[in-house]
Each structure stands twice: as C-alpha cells, then as structure tokens.
Structure 1
Amino acid sequence: MSEHTPIGLENDTRAIRALTHSGNFHVDETLGYVILHYALAPQGDLRTRILEGTCGDRLDFVRTRSPEVIKGADIVFDVGGSYDPPSGRYDHHMKDKPLREDGTPYSAAGLLWKDYGVAAIRNILTSPVEEGVPEAIWKSLDKSLILPIDQDDNGVVKMGKLSLADIVSACSPPWDTAELHGVQEAKGREALGFANAATAVAAHLVNMVDRVRASLKATSRVLASYKAAEDKRILLMETGMPTEKVIFERDLPVVYVVSPAGPEQWNVKAVPPVRGDFGQRVSLPEAWGGLEKAALAEVSGVPDAVFAHPARFICGAASREGALKMARLALEIDASLKIA
C-alpha cells in the first residue's frame, strides 16, 4: 500500500486530470482507470468520462500519446516512461521496472492499486464494515486479481482464455477497422471499446470487493461458531454461508457442517478430505443413503429426518435439533464401526 499521500487523495475537491495512452488497450490500463474512478470520483459516470472527455465531476480522463498533453496531466499511467508516485507518474515500461517484493514486475494497474486501491475499496463498499476490512480486502484482491494482471501484462504468466484480460481484449475493434470505416470512425470505435471494457472491469471489481467482504465476514462467523462448539467435529452455523475455505485454511477438524437450507429445513453436510474434492472425511451412515422422510426417520431414529443423499455427503431434517442429532448419530455410528 502507499507510503505517501497520492495525488487527489489529499482532499476531495481538487480537479484531477488522469491520462493513459491511446491506441490498443489492455486490462492493466483499463483497470487502472477504473481504480482511479472509484478512488477519486465514484459519483461520476465512468463511460461518459471516456466518451465525452468529462462528466462534470473532479476527474477528467484523457487517452493520448502526445508528450505535451502527458506533461500537463496530474496522473499518468502506463505511458510516459517514468515511475514517480509523488509526481503522479505510474509507467512500468522502463528498463528498471518497479518490482514487487517477490521480483514480479508491476503493471500500471498494480502500481495504481498500491496507491489508490484502499480508497477505491472504501468508496465501493455500500455498507459499514469493521476497521481494517478495506485493507484486508485490498490484500486479498492484490493476490487474486492484481498480481495475475501484473504477471500477464509483463509476459510472466498468461491469464488465458475467458480471463479478465481476454474480455478486455475482445472489446478492442478489429485490426482493419480504419481500413473499412475510416480513421475517425476507428477512433470512435476504439473509445467505445475502451468504455465497454472499463464497464466490464468495473462491474468485476465491484463484485470482487463485495465477495471478499462477505468472505471475511464468513471467516469471522465460522471461527466464532467453531470456538463455541462443544464437539469440534460438528460446526453449527445459524446462517448458511461458505465454510469450507475457512475449515481448510485454518486446518479445523470439522467433519460435519450443520446449517439452515431454508425456512423449514436444516442440512448436515460432510466435509471432504481435500478442499473442493469429492468424498467425505466421514461419510454419513450407509443405512441412510437414498432414504427419505418416514423411511429415513425409522432407520435413523430422527423423527423429522427429511432425506439422505445416496452418495452420503449430505442429509437433512426439518429442524435444527433434528439435523444436530443426525450429525451426532453419524459420528457415533462411524465410531462403533471402527471399534467393530
């Protein structure tokens, strides 16, 4: 994260002109623009600013390679031949590239994320969060979203088909647009393509911020539920949410997760031996597999039992107490089979 106050964040009223190069565009400068949009002027219209040069807010945005225009801009990224954040310069094409601690070269998006990412996240978040959450989201997205873009843009590791980089590239007009439609029309289609790409990238960033926020919230709740559990093998969640990520990252010995599956059903889901894998650490009882309602209630001894999947990785009951009883019985049956 930034070690200085980036240009435009020292106050929220100063007019800022941001600039990147014209011509072919890629995911790093597209995301770079999106980051600046959310950090500096999220109330503005992202598309109008691109297509009309202004949208009546504090942030102007220009795409050009003109040295004179570049010289006069407040923030210049992915062009200009200089990396000097206090002066608002964020290029990465020099011989001495700015590098991450692990030696990975930064892209323009990575450099702007370092300085403006937390501010962008704070403006993207639509509900109050606990102190430190924006920084935690920044760290998570720096690894999962920004680093792959750094690697792709610098020729380290290609993101591949249907990645964000590929989606952005698909927004560019074909190579023969000027030949078919003339230079002016080609410029207009290029601007429209960049606007379309920025719109897609902005939607992706907003969704990713919200998903990471929710993931951090789930982590807190899972750990609290685990701490409160009498039997650490059974994780009781009062609200349905992702749990597997936390279980494996924290190496929790959870075997079954009990959680609501609607207003009238609670499920027991077996944890797999490896995250995302098939199979179960402890399968549900063989005698339950494929049974429903009365038949399952009779075999299991749980009056409100609803179902047990034939693959024995999930079962359910009509009540919280019934589901908990099924989880406890499954562990007891497994223990008795091991003794036998």
Structure 2
Amino acid sequence: MAETAAKRVKTSPVTIGTHNGHFHADEALAVYMLRLLPTYQNSELIRTRDPALLATCHTVVDVGGEYDASANRYDHHQRTFNTTFPNRPTKLSSAGLVYMHFGKAIIAQQLGVAEDAEEVKVIWEKIYENFIEPVDANDNGISAYDPKGIAAAGLEKRFRDSGFTLGAMVSRLNPNWNDPVPSDPVEAQKAEDEKFLVASTRMGEEFSRDLDYYTRSWLPARDIVHKAYAKRLEYDPKGRVLVFDGLSVPWKDHLYTLEEQSGGAAEVLYVLYPEKPTPDAKWRVQAVPVSKDSFESRKPLPEAWRGIRDEKLDELTGIPGGVFVHAAGFIGGNKTFEGAKAMALKALDL
C-alpha cells in the first residue's frame, strides 16, 4: 500500500519554507494546516525566495517552482501546472495542494479514526468544496461566475459588498505601503513574518471552525437526516414533508444530496422541527430553499398567511395553535407538532 504524505515526512527538526514579501490566503492556510499535524507542530518557518535557503527546507509551499509531493514541494506557479482536486474543476493553489495531500490525515486525527475510513473521505471532499476551493480560485484569479456570461446578461451588482473574502481579509493584514520599516533587513523580515503569522492564525481559525463543524455537527446530522428522509412518506404520500423528531439538525446539505441520489423523487417542500428538545416545545415549519444559499423558497408558505400571528393566524388557516408566519413566507410556527404538520399539509395545496 502506498504511503500517505503524512507518513513520508521525516522526524524533527522540520522546516517549512514559503516566500517572503506580500503574503496571501493560500500559503497562510497551507502553513497552518501543516502545523496541525504532529510532525510539523513545532516546525520552523522560513520566508524567503532564496533557492539556496529553500533547498534546506523540509517542506516548501507556494514558492520554488516545483510540485513534487514525494519531495514535499507544493508550488503551483509553474507554467505547466494544472492539477485539480479529484472531481473538481478549479486549479489548486498551495492551500489546495497541501489539503489534497494532508487533509485526510488532519480529518482522521480530528475524528480519531484511520485515514481510509469512509467518513474521512466524505468530510475531505466536503471541506474542499465549501472552504478550500474558494481559496484556490481566489489565488488563481478564477471567478465564481463566468465574467463574459455576466456581461452578456447585463447583470450589475445592486450594492458594493466590499469584496470581503478570506483572500481580502488576509490582504488587509499585509503591511501598508507607508508603514515604517526597520532599517536592519533581519528586523524588517522579522516584522513581516510576524504579520504573516497573524494571517496564518486567522485563516487557521476559520479552517478549524469548518473542520470542527463538519466532524462534530455535520457528520452526526447525516444519519438523522437520512432516517427522516426515509420516513417522509408517513406524512405526505408524495414525500414533500420532512419531520425531525426531538431536535433540529443541519439538514440542507444532506437533503439536497439525498434528493440528487433519489433520481426523480418529489422534492421536499417543508421541513418540520421543534424549537428545542423538550416535550412542550413549539414547532417550526420551514420552506426548503431552492438551493443551500438561496433566499428563494421552493414553495413559500401561502401569501395570505404571511406576517400574521397568533389568533388571527388561527382564524385564517383554520388550524389552532398558530404562532406566526414570516412576512417572507420562508418559515412559520405552531404551538404543537400536529398544528405544524397541519399547516404544512394545507400549504401544499395552496
């Protein structure tokens, strides 16, 4: 069996090399991810473009003009470089390269399982698509949407969003053009390196939050969503209502995956869940968005119910226990499960 990248690295002392000067989100994250692993935990960081110094480093990221995992070289700036993550279209940055080779070891360490465990692969792919790929795209100048397609459609932004991405956040942590610089080159590099470490830590905090979410929350929720999906025909003959008994979990990602795999089954339109895991909890009726990040619902709650509360809602729906329906129609509530179910079933026909 081929050795993993994590097993190839040598014992301490280990030195990580990357370039000095203006730093970016990809190498800031790459360094942080490596340092999550025991071999790199106490590693020394050298930021330089000197080939002789880089040659002394155990691992080099984002500089050096070489991608060779067997030699722990992870640069992506070569003219011939076109490597992508498995089944994804975006060219990798140094963050993507390090994650592709070391991500499974990081996830397995977090879960306390072997690298070849099925759940490791599932999370490895999910974190890439949801966190690492945008970093790769940003560093390689790849837009989320085709600029020519946007121009052809005549689409314009409704407001300025300040370009607040992880890449923009790291860019702002670089020294300003008019910041004072120590006259001693050694002290100047030390000051720049300290700012880089701030950026690396900041990127790492976001990565670790994602890692924690997918291993401790998202993964345990998967089984619960699968069980609820299997029972959906108990509430509606077409399976358009999903019910979570006892508690709500992060369900959107898992639901869309299940629907895609079901091949032609009716889409779920409403999800029912209690506000808290107690017998007297009120229940929510949430309309399923057309996509994970969309504000548009597949079937919003009826327009006539929107913005109505309490007794007035009861009178309008003919269902006792109404609490509210949001003015946008994406969510509503009832004091009981039976009331929430009745609201969802009635909304299906309106």
TM-score band w.r.t. shorter chain: 0.7 to 0.9
Q: Which of 122-131 and 262-271 deviates more?
A: 122-131
What is the 5 A alignment of 1:274-289?
276-279=294-297, 281=299, 283-284=301-302, 286=304, 288-289=305-306
From 293, 296, 321, the equivalent of 2:310 is: 293
Contact 1:292 1:306 (C-alpha < 8 Å) held by counterparts: yes
What is the 5 A alignment of 1:189-268?
189-213=191-215, 214-229=217-232, 230=234, 231=236, 232-238=239-245, 239-249=247-257, 250=259, 252-262=266-276, 263=278, 264-268=281-285
Contact 2:300 2:329 (C-alpha < 8 Å) held by counterparts: no
- Structure 1 residue matching 2:16: 3-state secondary structure: strand
What TM-score does the superposition give when structure 2 sets the normalisation length? 0.76
In structure 2, the partner of 1:95 is 79
| Equivalent AA in structure 2 for residue 76 of structure 1 | V
RMSD: 3.5
| Equivalent AA in structure 1 for residue 108 of structure 2 | R
Structure 2: distance between partners of 1:130 and 1:316: 43
What is the 5 A alignment of 1:103-142?
104-124=90-110, 131-142=117-128
From 47, 53, 64, the equivalent of 1:63 is: 47
In structure 1, the partner of 2:174 is 172
Q: Please tell me whether Structure 1 or Structure 2 has the larger radius of gyration of its CA atoms.
A: 1
Contact 1:40 1:120 (C-alpha < 8 Å) held by counterparts: no
1:194 Cα offset (Å): 0.5
| Equivalent AA in structure 2 for residue 70 of structure 1 | L
- Structure 2 residue matching 1:9: 3-state secondary structure: helix
Structure 2: distance between partners of 1:89 and 1:330: 58
Contact 2:108 2:114 (C-alpha < 8 Å) held by counterparts: no
Contact 2:11 2:39 (C-alpha < 8 Å) held by counterparts: no
Gaps of 5+ in 1: 45-56, 335-340
From 299, 302, 327, the equivalent of 2:344 is: 327
Q: Which of 272-281 and 107-116 deviates more?
A: 272-281
Contact 1:105 1:154 (C-alpha < 8 Å) held by counterparts: yes
Residue by residue over 1:264-311, the C-alpha shift from the partner in whole angstroms, topping out at 9 and shown as x without a partner, is 31111233556624355263483x554433444455454433333455
Work out whether 1:38 is the aligned partner of 2:36: yes
In structure 1, the partner of 2:65 is 81
Q: Which of 177-186 and 307-316 deviates more?
A: 177-186
Structure 1: distance between partners of 2:98 and 2:194: 23
The number of residue pairs the alignment matches comes to 316
Structure 2: distance between partners of 1:20 and 1:209: 24
Structure 2: distance between partners of 1:127 and 1:199: 26
What TM-score does the superposition give when structure 1 sets the normalisation length? 0.77
Change in 2 beyond 3 A, CA 1:150/1:141: same
Change in 2 beyond 3 A, CA 1:221/1:71: same
Change in 2 beyond 3 A, CA 1:190/1:126: farther
Structure 1: distance between partners of 2:80 and 2:196: 29
From 334, 345, 348, the equivalent of 1:317 is: 334
Gaps of 5+ in 2: 146-161, 261-265
Percent of aligned pairs with the same amino acid: 30
Contact 2:104 2:115 (C-alpha < 8 Å) held by counterparts: no
Contact 1:31 1:202 (C-alpha < 8 Å) held by counterparts: yes
